[in-house]
Structure formats: structure tokens, C-alpha cells
Amino acid sequence: MSLQELVDISRFYGANPDYVIAGGGNTSFKEGASKGGVLFVKGSGTSLGDITPQGFVRMDRAKLARIWETAYPQDADEREAAVLADMMAAKLPGEDGKRPSVETLLHDILPFTYVVHTHPALVNGLTCSQEGETAARELFGEGCIWIPITNPGYTLSQAVKKALDAYLAHNGKPADTIFLQNHGIFAGAGSVEGIKAIYAKILSVLGEKIKRKPDFSGKTGTYQDSEAIAEALAACTGQNSTVVFERNAEFARLTADAAGFAPASSAFTPDHIVYSGSNPLFIAITDGRPLGEQVRDAWNHHLAATGRPPKIAAVQGRGIFGIGSSEKTALLALELFADTAKVAAYSESFGGPRFMTRDKIDFINNWEVERYRSGVVEKS
């Protein structure tokens, strides 16, 4: 049991796109007595794939435990700010300038030496599906906990703590697997081998249940008039922006018509909102009208309806356009949309897709604004 093993397992999952994309996910290791001791948790702004020991923040577990005895304000914004302040104050000396993961409390309350939290598309095919909870119970028995969709931060930690406490009281042992609806999975174990065993089992059981895998074959960066459409989209942003395009078998399927796009037409998880937006724009193309005009009309209509410029435009008969202020952000939008397409395809095996609810989507959109303002932007 060591910090080095935490680094190794973090890189193991972080370097595998089946588990981690766009720097998402976080990991931790506990050292010392169960209630006191030190929690090493992934720091904000670091990526699991190339993390070093310095990428982890050392936290005082006794101080983190005190958060559960503290009465916080009723107002959600005030409460989150107060908890964040207490979390920052729980850093051990020498950790100044680092920010612990926003999911630190979840890592602390899971009573396992190692905790690995990820957002694999295959797992989210379950957590973002109509029958996910029932399927999770059928496939993984009583060993797992299912947490219904919950706002992130302290609210989510509270929901998980309650469920963990109830599980422990009922079963006499802690739950080691937590499915978070419309978010991802937490796994805890006393060793890295234990973590790997949990993940391997879950991914193999889910893999066997999948009736249709997404098909990303036939990938191309241009198709028909995609360059003219990209220019028209860039013009709509009214600023310097980059538009990237991809077509493949899965995207062709999704952009065949408006009905075909329905399974990818909203947001599955907070990460999808952060990188590819909560409202992808579907543009139906009518023959005979100038393309630029159709793109502009659809853009303006979308902007008026949602109040936000889209990061993804799905254009009928063409494919998917990622839109960003730089090539990096445009490609990230496209990458997260590809993940959306995967989740949508996997969810077909569990009763079809289940998007985040409108109020939870609005919370993330506003939360992101707040975090950008305060400089606490993290992918988790």
C-alpha cells in the first residue's frame, strides 16, 4: 500500500480511453488510522494519465470528518462555498496552491484504502439508461449502491454518505461499488488488485449485456459540403472560432434525420455539458435553400431558445461539427460528443437513453459559470 501504487493505478486507468477521457475521473489513497490519517486525493488541474505523486493533495482526514458535524447554510450557493472553504482548510501544511478534487468528500467517506472514480462510456450506458437501476441490481446483486441523479458537490456527498451508512447498517460490511446515475462509478478496495478486479468484472458483465456497439468506422474529416457548413458555423459565432468536422458510421446514423438524432440530443453527464454543451444543435437540411442561410437560421433559433451558442452542430446527412474558441476546445467538444454517441448506443441495451433532467442541467451550466469565475475549474 503506497502512494506509488496510487500513481500507478491512476495512470493505468487514466491512459485508457475506455475509462477516462478529457482528464475526467479521480483517485485517492488513505494512509494511517481509519478516522485520522491522511487522504491523498487527485488535485484539480491534473490528469490521471500522466499524474505524479505531486499531483495529489494531502488532506487531514480528521478535519474532513468534522465537515459532517458542521451545520451549513440552507442556501445552496452559500452552503457549497462554506463546504469548499472547509475542504480547503483540511489540506495538510505544505499543500498550499493545490486544490483537492471537488469529489474529495466522496473519496474520504468510502472506507477503503484505494478509491478510483471514473466515467466509462460502457458504465454510463447503464447509469444513463431508462432501466439502469433495475439492471444494476440484477447484474451486480446487492454489492452495489445506486445513487439517483444528484447535483454535484456537498449535495452528492451527502446522498452517498446516507446510502453508504444505510448499506453498512443493513449488510454489516461497506459497499465497494457505487453507481451514480448520469455520472459514473466509484470503486473502493484495500489493494489496487481489488480495484482492478471490481472494474474488470463490471466491464465484462456489461460488455456481455450490450446488444449493439457503436460503430465509428469509415471516419472522414470532410464530407459533401462540410467545409462550407463549417465556414457558415464559424461565421455564426461572431468571433474567432474553430470548427472541426467528423463523419463516421455512428455519426451518419445519428444525423440521418431529426428522429435519428434524438438519442444524442441532450446531456448525459456533467462532463458532457462542460465540454460539448447541454444542447447540441440539430440542423435539418432542405434542398434548394442556400446552405449558409439554413445554418444561420438554425443557429439563431437555437440561440434564442437556449441562450447559449452550441458547441456541437449535427447537420442532417453530413455529420458532427465541434465548435470552440480554439482547435483544442472544438476537438474536445467532438470527443465528448463521440462519448455521448457511445453512451446512447450502450443505453439501448438497458431500455434506451435517459438524459439529465432540465433542473440538473441548469445547475451544471450555472455551476460552471461560478467555478470559472472563482477559478476553480476542474474536470472530475
| Complex with Zn ion: residue 347 or 380, whichever CB lies closer | 380
Tell the smallest beta-carbon distance from residue 380 to Zn ion (Å).
5
Comparing C-alpha atoms, which of 33, 113, 43, 29 is closest to residue 379? Answer: 43
CB of 22 or CB of 295, closer to Zn ion: 22
Strands 281-283, 177-180: parallel, antiparallel or unpaired by DSSP? unpaired
Interface with Zn ion (CB under 5 A), residue total 2
Amino acid letter for position 258: A
Q: Where are the beta strands (DSSP E) in 124-258?
A: 144-147, 177-180, 184-189, 242-246
Rounded to a whole number of angstroms, the minimum distance from the CB of residue 179 to Zn ion is 12
Question: What is the 8-class DSSP label of residue 43?
Answer: B
Quick note: the x/- pattern for Zn ion over 54-83, rule CB under 5 A, is ------------------------------
Segment 145-204, which members bind Zn ion (CB under 5 A)? 184
41/252 with CB nearer Zn ion? 41
Kind and range of the H or E run holding 128: none
CB of 184 to Zn ion, least distance (A): 5
How many residues are given for the chain? 380
Q: What angle do CA 155, 160, 162 make, to 5 degrees?
A: 95
- State in angstroms the smallest separation of the CB of 119 from Zn ion: 6
Nearest by Cα to 115 from 2, 195, 46: 195
**Joined grid coordinates for residue 36:** 485520522
Residue with smaller CB distance to Zn ion, 91 or 117: 117
Q: Shortest Cβ contact with Zn ion: which residue?
A: 380
Q: Which three cell numbers stand for residue 333?
A: 467538444
Task: Pick the closer one to Zn ion by CB: 184 or 319.
Answer: 184
Task: State the sign of the Cα–Cα–Cα–Cα dihedral 121, 127, 131, 137.
Answer: positive
Closest CA to 350 of 30, 126, 96, 83: 126
- Give every strand in the sheet of 281-283, ordered side by side: 242-246, 319-324, 312-315, 281-283
> Closest CB to Zn ion among 28 and 242?
28
Q: Report, in Å, the least distance between residue 237 CB and Zn ion.
A: 29
**Are 95 and 42 within 8 A, CB to CB?**
no
Nearest-approach distance from CB 54 to Zn ion, in angstroms: 22
Binding mask 300-319 for Zn ion (x = CB under 5 A): --------------------
255 vs 380 by CB, closer to Zn ion: 380
Return the number of the residue (261 or 268) whose C-beta is nearest Zn ion.
268
CB of 337: closest distance to Zn ion in angstroms? Answer: 18
Q: Residue 353 Cβ, how far from Zn ion at the closest point, in Å?
A: 19
Phi–psi pair at 320, nearest 5 degrees? -115, 130
253 to 292: interface string for Zn ion, x by CB under 5 A? ----------------------------------------
The residue range among 191-199, 233-241, 331-339, 372-380 that interacts with Zn ion, by the rule CB under 5 A, is 372-380
Site for Zn ion, rule CB under 5 A: 184, 380
